Structure 1
Amino acid sequence: MAGRRSPVTDIREILRRLHLGEPDRRIARDLGISRNTVAHYRVWAARHGVLDGGALPDVATLAELLAPAPSERPAHEQSLVEPLRERVLALHERGVEGQAIWQLLVEEHGFTGSYSSVKRFLRRLAPSRSRATLRLEVGPGEEAQVDFGYAGQFLDPEHGRVRRAWVFVMTLSCSRHQYAELVFEQTIETWVRLHRAAFEYFGGVPRRVVLDNLRAAIVHAALYDPEVQRSYRECAEHYGFLIAPCRPRTPEHKGKVEQGGVHYVKRNALAGRAFRDVHDGNRHLLRWCLEVAGRRTHGTTKQIPLAVFDEIERAALRPLPVSPWELAEWKQAKLHSDCHIVFDGAYYSAPHRLLGERLWVRAAGSKIELFHEYALVATHRRGRPGQRRTLVAHLPPEKVHFLLQTPAWCRARAAEIGPACALFIDALLGDRPLDRLRSAQGVLRFVDRYGAERVDAACARAHAVGEYRYHTIKAILVHALDRQPLPGLTPVASNAAVSPPRHARPWTTFFPDPESEDRRSLAWT
């Protein structure tokens, strides 16, 4: 736009182009302004009937329409942010903070104002755009609110290094009595352990636990019916409380924790203090919850949390169960073709009819349970890595016989096949029969395909070269090497003078010389 025009003139040019039906993108490009600015005045014009089809108002009339209300700032004092009001409002309502809004305005619209101008605009905006909220007071024992908040760096004595730590806070909504603990992880294991610790600290369980959509406790941040991880759901069932996630992006729904819990703990209990390690910090938090936070006059209720807890809320909590919650770990695992799933390096069998299915594994203490959908299909004792836990009933009938082929059975079967096979199987099993049992079984199964005579010959050949492996026998049989003479036994003409091969052992190493045997027997007669 050539020349320098007043704001009203600029706005009238925008309105004129809108009146002609030009798209926002073209108007913004031609006038060198933001599309959001064009969109803002399109909405304004529609609200004031400027685009209803009649003639555009003149500059004076337009100035009157654009004049600020008495409560608004004069036109010459309008904020530099004003032309981008709608964009700022959209970002502000999404929870974007001022610094990020200013950065986005600079990047998207070439905004030349300072960060302070954005802050001032947001301060003026806050009273008029704030949403009305309703403070809901709940009865004793009805509700607790929980959250994590970053707490800083603490020494982890178990690992001998400084780590990032978070503070867990559970606040009873009626009395405002609270429990706080420092942790290094936000895993589901830590999450349910902290619930147990808080319930034992209070001496009872609230009827409902309100939480933000924390990744450790919630699988998907759904609005009304979130899919809660199985471990947390089992914990809730064990203690008898309901899980009540906040609606996504609405932390004000659990303000007792957000403002009076995590923030209060960080500002009051932890700020400006140095601790030897995380255990020292947790000892301090326990004393602080009982002696400081519990005995203060609460700013909202004007009552002392610990006194209210002792008077009305302690007795209203549900009693703790007889046995404490034992964490169960849930994972999914595929049932492989050998009728076993793998969990923590150990192997557990499941019914062969479920081959290829994904099963749920529930591990609690020394017990492993396998579920198909919601049905329990197998129970095992927990095994060490590499160990197999197999129930014969889980295997197909044709595999049961194979399972019963023990090392002793393999040796007996090899002796039936032939002496060379017996030597080979005995050497193969050696001092590790269980580790090599499958290889031995595989060698013996070659009889079904190649016959006992060929397998025995293959074992003799492998024994001759000192190779005691399943793959050696397989290679000999596949390439028919068992039908060739053993090394050092190449047939020659009977009258030929043959010198022994340079690197071969004499054939008498493998078979006794009949003539030598005869001479030896004559020598003793």
Structure 2
Amino acid sequence: MGRKKAQALREKAILHGWLEPDVVLPDNDALATALEENSQVLIKGSSVAPYADKITKWYEQGIQGTTIHQALVDKYGFTGSYWSVIRYLKALAEKTPVPTTVIEFAPGDAAQVDFGAGPLIVDTRTGELRKSWIFVMTLAWSRHIYAEFIRDQSVATWLACHRRAFEWFNGVPKRVIIDNPKCAITRACYHDPQVQRAYGECAEGYGFLIAPCPVRDPQKKGRVESNVKYIKNSFVPLKEFRSLSDANAQLKSWLLSVAGNRIHGTTKCQPLERFTEIEQALLSPLPEVPPEQAVWAKVKVHGDGHVQFEHCRYSVPYTLIRETLWLKASDTMVRIYQKHELKATHARMHHQGSRATVPEHQPPAAQAYNMQDPQYCLAQAQRIGESCHVFIKRLFASRVLDNLRA
């Protein structure tokens, strides 16, 4: 007997009260009858029995268990435990069949996206095996697949995968159906999910609609989930990968030669054939210039007038010290905004510990101090007069600065 079945039997025993110390165990016939019938039949001795109709009604309205338990306590003086309510709700969930509907898509209408755990692949920089992930985008009508192995699920990686997927298909679907990964959705909600700002800009640039699945309802993108399993079970086993790039080269070849030309179990057609003959022409064209891919981050201005992003520091006007700003970082540029007003622009730095400072961002006293090098002093002396200039030049000739002590 496996763990799942043992757990299910234990829950049935708890539900029927068989594990209570003063309860006489049923005989074999009664036990068999209880196990054959839907295990969610509520026994008369349960503390929730008098409130079964109310709990069932609330359950059907989608009210959570904690709220139901508190309502029973407040309105009816319920003395049973929270877990007795949860056991009954689990019983209702198992008792109530969940109908499913096959969702049909028109050619070019939608793509479904998902992540899956990938194999351990050698990091060529360190020689160590590192975890990988599989990014998969499936066109919902043709079932044609784009997939690649990646090292992380960051926003930047998510955006880059979308760009490469659209270039693979040479077009953009009208909708991209996703789960609720943090790299795409900052707050999952059935009615009003909050989309990552960078992903929203990506969707606007390519012209597709972001369509998150309802919370805890990933079945809405079952086609891509089945393809994640297909890749993990059919491509990954018995393969040897020398590096991440080698793994992706092998995967792309397999997608075109094997996955694309298989007879799909549902459509009874070859995904690549359906794609090339019908769906590809119905995708929206790629933009002439790929949209800028940039990530957004909230940053705090430190006392030295700099913000920090990925271990690099960038200056902003000193008047913004202690303010919270928005930083937009592409591969080459960093832009810093106060609300919608651009406050600073820098070349993107990638070496940890780097510092970019614009002199005009510093307070006037600091700007004046930084300007007082020998050339500045000589120029000022020249403006005062020839005698002053000769005197200052003589001072610098004696290398007086070298004799200064902190």
TM-score by length of 1: 0.55
Q: Deviations over 1:50-91 (max 9, x none)?
A: xxxxxxxxxxxxxxxxxxxxxxxxxxxxxxxxxx89628528
Partner of residue 307, structure 1: 273
Q: CA deviation at 1:233?
A: 2.2
2 CA distance for matches of 1:386 and 1:244? 39
Cα separation, partners in 2 of 1:427 and 1:386, compared to 1, 3 Å: farther
Matched, 1:188 2:155: yes
Aligned amino acid, residue 390 of structure 1? V
Quote the residue 2:334 is aligned against.
Answer: 368
Instruction: Verify: 1:175 aligned to 2:142, yes or no.
Output: yes
Residue of 13, 35, 46 corresponding to 1:38: 46
Q: Is residue 168–residue 182 contact of structure 1 (8 Å, CA) maintained in 2?
A: yes
Q: Residues 166 and 183 of structure 1 are in contact (CA less than 8 Å); yes or no, is this contact kept in structure 2?
A: yes
SS of corresponding position for 1:145: strand
Match of 1:265 in 2: 231
Q: Which residue of 1 aligns with 2:117?
A: 150
Greater length-normalized contact order (CA 8 Å, ≥ 6 residues apart)? 2
Deviation at 1:366, TM superposition (A): 3.3
Equivalenced residues, count: 335
Superposition TM-score, scaled by structure 2 size: 0.69
Change (3 A) 1:37 1:320: farther
Q: Secondary structure at the match of 1:302?
A: coil
CA distance in 2, matches of 1:427, 1:293: 76
| CA apart distance, 1:44 | 5.7
Q: Counterparts of 1:368 and 1:4 in 2: how far apart (Å)?
A: 70
Equivalent residue number for residue 296 of structure 2: 330
Based on CA coordinates, which of the two structures has the bigger radius of gyration?
Answer: 1
Q: Does structure 1 retain, via aligned residues, the 8 Å contact 2:346–2:356?
A: no
Q: Pairwise CA RMSD of aligned residues?
A: 3.9
Q: Equivalent of 1:356, from 288, 298, 322?
A: 322
- State the one-letter code of the partner of 2:346: H
Q: What secondary structure is seen at the aligned counterpart in 1 of 2:192? A: coil
- State the alpha-carbon separation in 2 of the partners of residues 254 and 406 from structure 1: 65
The within-5 A match list for 1:14-33 is none
Q: What is the identity, as a one-letter code, of the residue corresponding to 2:130?
A: R
- Flag the 1:402–1:141 CA change in 2: closer, same or farther, 3 A: same
Aligned to 1:219: 186
1:272 Cα deviation after fit = 4.2
Structural mapping, 1:315-464, within 5 Å: 315-343=281-309, 347-382=313-348, 386-390=354-358, 392=360, 394=361, 401-409=368-376, 426-428=399-401, 430=402
The CA deviation string for residues 331-383 of structure 1, in whole angstroms up to 9 with x for no partner, is 33323445443445655443444332112222224322111112222223346
Report the Cα offset of residue 278 of structure 1. Answer: 3.5
1:242 corresponds to:
209
Q: Which amino acid aligns with 1:468?
A: R
Consecutive unaligned residues in structure 2, runs of 5 or more: 1-19, 28-41, 56-83, 382-387
SS in 1 for 2:195: coil
Conserved 8 A contact 1:411-1:426: no
Which SS does the other structure have where 1:318 is aligned? coil
The 1:196/1:6 distance shift into structure 2, 3 A limit, reads closer
Equivalents in 1 of 2:354, 2:132: separation in Å?
35
1:159 to 1:219, Cα distance in 2 relative to 1, 3 A: farther
1:468 corresponds to:
405
Q: Distance in 2 between matches of 1:164 and 1:214?
A: 18
Assess if the C-alpha contact under 8 Å between 2:359 and 2:367 holds in 1.
Answer: no
User: What is the CA distance between 1:254 and its match in structure 2?
Assistant: 0.8
Distance 1:350 1:205, change over 3 A: same
The answer (yes or no) to whether the contact 1:152–1:166 under 8 Å persists in 2 is yes
Amino acid in the other structure paired with 1:177 = H
Q: Secondary structure at the match of 1:361?
A: strand
Deviation at 1:276? 4.0
Aligned to 1:281: 247
For residues 99-139 of structure 1, the C-alpha deviation after alignment (integer angstroms, 9 at most, x for no partner) is: xxxxxxxxxxxxxxxxxxxxxxxxxx5xx533112221111
The share of aligned pairs that are identical, in percent, is 40
* C-alpha distance in structure 1 between counterparts of 2:44 and 2:215, whole Å: 27
1:206: Cα distance to partner?
0.9
Which residue number corresponds to residue 87 of structure 2? 87
Shift of 1:209: 0.9
Q: In the alignment, residue 243 of structure 1 is paired with which amino acid?
A: I
Per-residue deviation, 1:325: 4.3
